[in-house]
Structure 1
Amino acid sequence: MWRKAASVGGLTLLSRAFGFVRDAMMAALLGAGPLADAFMVAFRLPNHFRAIFAEGAFNAAFVPRYAYQLTREGEGAARSFGEDVLSITMLAQLVLLVLALAFTPLVVTALAPGFSDDPPQLALTAELTRITFPYLALISAMTLVAGVLNAHDRFAAAASASILLNVCMIAALLVAGWFPTVAHALAVGVLVSGFAQLGLVVWDMRKAGVGLSLRLPRLTQNVRDFLKRFGPAVLGSAGVQIAMFADTILASFLPSGSVSYLYYADRLYQLPLAVVGIAVGTVLLPELARRLAADDRSGARDRLNRALEGALLMTLPFVALFAAAPGPVVAALFGRGAFDQAAIAGSAAALQAYAFGLPAVVALRCVTPAFHAAGDTATPVKALAVATIANVALKIALIGSFLHAGLAFATSVGAWINLALLVILLRRRDGFAPDRRFWINIAAVTVATAASVAAIVWSLGPAAALKGFIPPFPDLAPAALIGAVGVAAYGLVAGPGFILARR
């Protein structure tokens, strides 16, 4: 499992490296003003819908069913099921695309109502959204093909696809002079990347000898079972997106740049979530589905324990760094060009608030597949509904005093509520049974995180003296020293604990 997760995580890390190059270029050229806010909303719209209908909900409902078909009935039955779902998915995406293009200004107003007081801003955002929204249909098809590949233990192409998004957007920035604005260039880059990502996974699917063809949709019993699970899964994914929609809606009423502050903080916050949480969750779902299909419940519980402790081991150094030194991190990565000190401070405040919830968000990527692998997409929805209500209520309560940082902190609290509910429910049904090794490892990483925070706080003084040491990147040396000290302290404390746990 960890070998596969390392493959996915390594490719995701490469994608994030390209992503940081992209974001650094965006920050320098766009900054955090009205033009940046317009693109962020246009970029978020298809991504919100993608997260609802494609990656989250689709994988939860499709992958376990496809894996079951493949294990119990063979490749022919699995391929037939995949073709039926692909046809239905493309029909639904076509309808959604037509509606979105026809009513784009209304869609943008619903997501960013604060823009309605600024007609030029609203018109620009709607124009950019019309360019980016077809990306949703392309990425939905890509997600289905990636799910098929994952069920066949092929993870590399799907994990590499996101690299193409960043490469296309970087290329668009390099030729931005050919477009009316940098934002227009980026929007076109997003659309082109959708074709590139779909092409990559289709090529790998053909290479693996697993062909899927479009045909007239059929409502077979397997498809009906998929749709029954897909409905609750959509509601579950929608709950997460509702909180993010709330961030964008409320931030559109805040001072200019607030939407961008949240975006850049989220980009850093997403690094451990993607490299660790999503990588482990991607591999864990088919692993648990196969074990449960073979009635190996004890093996499934063991895999979940190892996934949780390993994911937290790799995530908590980021938590320590983002919580104790968000400013130097943001400055090192984005602090140049149009991204001024105000943008650094605003993004750092959001990043620090997000850090509080990062362990819970990564753990959710391990716990939620335990329900989905058992065919239960409804229980995570119920837990998420409670967490979402608390999350949105807290956003409204905090925004007046803490502005965009209050929105980020409410997101963190909602993640912890969601995780607590799911862990309680999973333990009641004997799907999660922490063993001695698990508790020793959790204690080790908790103490290690505290040691890392203390070391990072101590290093802030010496690091400040290194500012400007590398003239083209004046904040890079301080951030590198702070990160190295934090990781060293974490490793020295956590390492012995994990060695002890294995004995």
Structure 2
Amino acid sequence: MSDIPQPPPSSNPPPDAHRSIAGAAGLIGLATFSSRILGFIRDMLLARLLGASASADAFFVAYRVPNLLRELLAEGSMSSAFIPVFTEYHTLRSKKETWELASAAFTTLLSIVTLITLIGVVVAPTIVWLLAPGFHDDPTQLEITTVLTQVMFPYLIFISVAALTMGILNSLRAFAAPALAPVFFNICVIMAALFLAPLLEEPVIGVAIGVVIGGLAQLVIQLPGVHKRGLLFQWRFEPGHPGVRRMGRLIIPSLLGMSVTQINITVNTILASYFDGGPTYLFYGMRLIQFPLGIFGVALATAILPTLSAQAAKGAMDELRETVDFGLRMIGFIILPAMAGLILLRIPLVHLFFEHGAFSSADTEGTATALLGYAVGLWAFAGIRIIVAAFYSMQDTKTPAIAAVAAMFMNILLALNLMGPLQHAGLALATALSAMLNITILIAVLTHRLHGIDWWHVGKSLGRVLIATIPVALVCMWISSLGIWQREDEWITKGILVALGIGISMGGYMGTHALYRSPELDVLWQLVQLKVLRRTS
């Protein structure tokens, strides 16, 4: 793979570009925050309904299939393959050619995922047999897991087309509807758990039906935005369309490159089936990790990819380097204090959110150890999103795929060695360590490809972040040391304590950055001022 030649000198992107990215990320993050809150409500309902029972393990193993597909498509390969090509067409070609590309991509995608879904329903018993070897001695659990997998497989059709629609809207800088789509998914699952599940002999099947309905809702909520911009998908079966062929070449390696975390989690699900409650503990641990990762990491990567793609299409590599630098600094600014909070507040958070109904104190301990294993790699999970977005903007999906293969082998090796002494927590830690290897490889290659990244600038930013994280750590350690978390009641007091701890921590964190006059805080403050001025004008 040849290096990109050094471009002629050009000015760094203006602060407006940073504010635009931060503003889009803020919008996506706010919508994602709403989705995560509803997701927690959903998970609390599932924890109360299922606990860490055999039915819960069956559901979370079966849910791994559509959840993996969601990560691959909605938050991964579809966006990374579609947005750079669509942005290039939209930037350099006519509107007619752009919409023809979109319709051809829609028709090709729908045909492929419908065929995959039909095959998946038929071979679901084999999929389950491979995903859950720990269930082999329990035919009843294998059977219910198979049924759940078959029920949820059509989710692939809806979420795939929803991901394509999201790519179109994000390319046009329309972020609101795609970001809000998961909110409706969670509402559907919650409604199914509350009203449909109690009516069925196997309540967990009602939850699975809610997953499928939620996927449809994610698609429907985005269609008005596409229609408003003059696009009605037409049946245009042209798999040989030049743009579709380029997407195909990009999406195949990116399926591995962008989703290495999810692939590793799937491996962990297979191995966790050997431990009672293992799949459930890993699921809830990753749910807490996904809260800051989705709100900030995925939001920033989603917002930054169209900008990177436009810069790459124009050959503005100096601007692209500056945008990558900005993305890395913002990831560190937001993710590192969140990482400290999750590690130090892991017991209070799991206890407060999940220890209700069938979810016991032992389940809290098991989930908290899984959370600890995942949390040490949160910075790597988030940083990978930005670095991979830079590669995809240059329509290079092979390099991330190579790094992903190396990380995947490392994850399997570590998981097999750590699952003995650490059980399910060792599987979570293996995922985190393999993500660190992944990002190390990607950063080394990207630095070479871009002829350097301003690591001094990034390093100074990280230094400020580490100092500002000290008050976060002190407050979280105090909250976690209180004896209230061993008691079964006082939920209001516990909720106030967690909220108070987070509030004081963030006050200290932001105050420290204000003393250092951090550029990252300046960007956020200018964005807030701009929003206020717009509302008052």
Give the TM-score taking structure 1 as reference length.
0.95
Q: How many residues are aligned here?
A: 501
Does residue 295 of structure 2 align to residue 251 of structure 1? no
Correspondence for 2:50: 30
Following superposition, the deviation at residue 238 of structure 1 comes to 5.6
Structure 1 residue corresponding to 2:204, chosen from 167, 178, 183: 183
1:235 aligns with: 256
2:234 is the alignment partner of 1:213 = yes
Aligned to 2:443: 423
The match for 2:359 is 339
> Structure 1: where are the runs of 5+ without partners?
none
Distance in 2 separating the partners of 1:94 and 1:414: 33
2:287 match: 267
Letter in 2 for 1:494: H
Given the alignment of the two structures, is residue 92 of structure 1 paired with residue 112 of structure 2, yes or no? yes
1:46 aligns with 2:66: yes
Aligned to 2:410: 390
Pair 1:491 & 2:510 matched:
yes
Q: How far 1:500 sits from its partner (Å)?
A: 6.9
What is the rounded CA distance, in whole Å, between the counterparts of 1:120 and 1:366 in structure 2?
43
Of residues 302, 309, 314 in structure 2, which corresponds to 1:282? 302
Deviations along 1:415-437, one digit per CA (max 9) or x if unpaired, are 11111111111111126512654
Pick aligned residue for 1:404 from 392, 409, 424: 424
Q: Distance in 2 between matches of 1:470 and 1:432?
A: 55
Deviations 1:317-369 (A, max 9, x none): 22111112210111111111111101100000011111100011111111111
CA offsets, 1:76-95, max 9 Å, x none? Answer: 11111111111111111111
> 1 CA distance for matches of 2:517 and 2:203?
48
Distance 1:435 1:118 in 2: 53
How many angstroms does 1:201 deviate by?
A: 1.1
Aligned residue for 1:372?
Answer: 392
In structure 2, C-alpha distance between the alignment counterparts of 1:354 and 1:449, rounded to whole Å: 19
Q: Distance in 1 between matches of 2:519 and 2:299?
A: 26
User: Aligned partners of 2:488 and 2:366: how far apart in 1?
Assistant: 25
Which runs of structure 2 are paired with 1:99-498 in the superposition (5 Å)?
Answer: 99-175=119-195, 176-237=197-258, 239-254=260-275, 256-430=276-450, 433-434=453-454, 437-461=457-481, 463-464=482-483, 471-473=490-492, 475-498=494-517
CA gap 1:201/1:472 in 2 versus in 1, 3 angstroms: same
Q: Contact conserved, 2:73 with 2:79, CA < 8 A, in 1?
A: no
Q: Secondary structure at the match of 1:117?
A: coil
Q: Match of 2:422, as an amino acid? A: F
Verify the 8 A CA contact 2:297 2:385 in the aligned structure 1.
yes
Bigger mean CA offset, 205-214 vs 434-443: 434-443
Q: CA deviation at 1:241?
A: 3.4
Instruction: Identify the residue that residue 4 of structure 1 maps to in structure 2.
Output: 24
Q: Give the match's secondary structure for 2:221.
A: helix
Other-structure match for 2:527 = none
Q: Is the 8 A contact 1:451 1:490 kept in 2?
A: yes
Equivalent AA in structure 1 for residue 210 of structure 2: G
Question: Does 417-426 or 479-488 show the bigger shift?
Answer: 479-488
Deviation (angstroms), 1:5? 0.9
Contact 1:12 1:160 in 2 (8 A): yes
1:240 deviation in Å?
Answer: 3.4
Is residue 323–residue 355 contact of structure 1 (8 Å, CA) maintained in 2?
yes
Contact 1:64 1:372 in 2 (8 A): yes
Could you say if the C-alpha distance between residues 465 and 168 of structure 1 is closer, same or farther in structure 2, counting changes exceeding 3 Å?
closer
Distance 2:433 2:470 in 1: 20
Matches of 2:173 and 2:157 in 1, distance apart? 25
Q: CA separation in 2, counterparts of 1:481 and 1:12?
A: 22
For the structure 1 residues 497 and 355, does the alpha-carbon distance in structure 2 shift closer, same or farther, using more than 3 Å as the test?
A: farther
**What is the identity percentage for the equivalent residue pairs of Structure 1 and Structure 2?**
32
TM-fit CA distance, 1:210:
2.3
RMSD: 2.0
Q: 1:479 to 1:467 in 2, by over 3 A?
A: farther
1:498 CA drift (Å) = 4.4
Output the amino acid matched with 2:515.
P
CA distance in 2, matches of 1:219, 1:248: 38
Distance verdict in 2 for CA 1:290–1:93, change over 3 Å: same
* Cα distance, 1:482 vs structure 2: 3.5
2-structure distance, mates of 1:43, 1:278? 21
Distance 1:31 1:93, change over 3 A: same
Q: What is the CA distance between 1:202 and its match in structure 2? A: 1.5
Q: C-alpha distance in 1, partners of 2:321/2:184? A: 36
Q: Is the 8 A contact 1:459 1:485 kept in 2?
A: no
**Tell me, which stretches of 5 or more residues in structure 2 are unaligned?**
1-20, 524-537
Separation (CA, whole Å) in 1 of partners of 2:517 and 2:424:
38
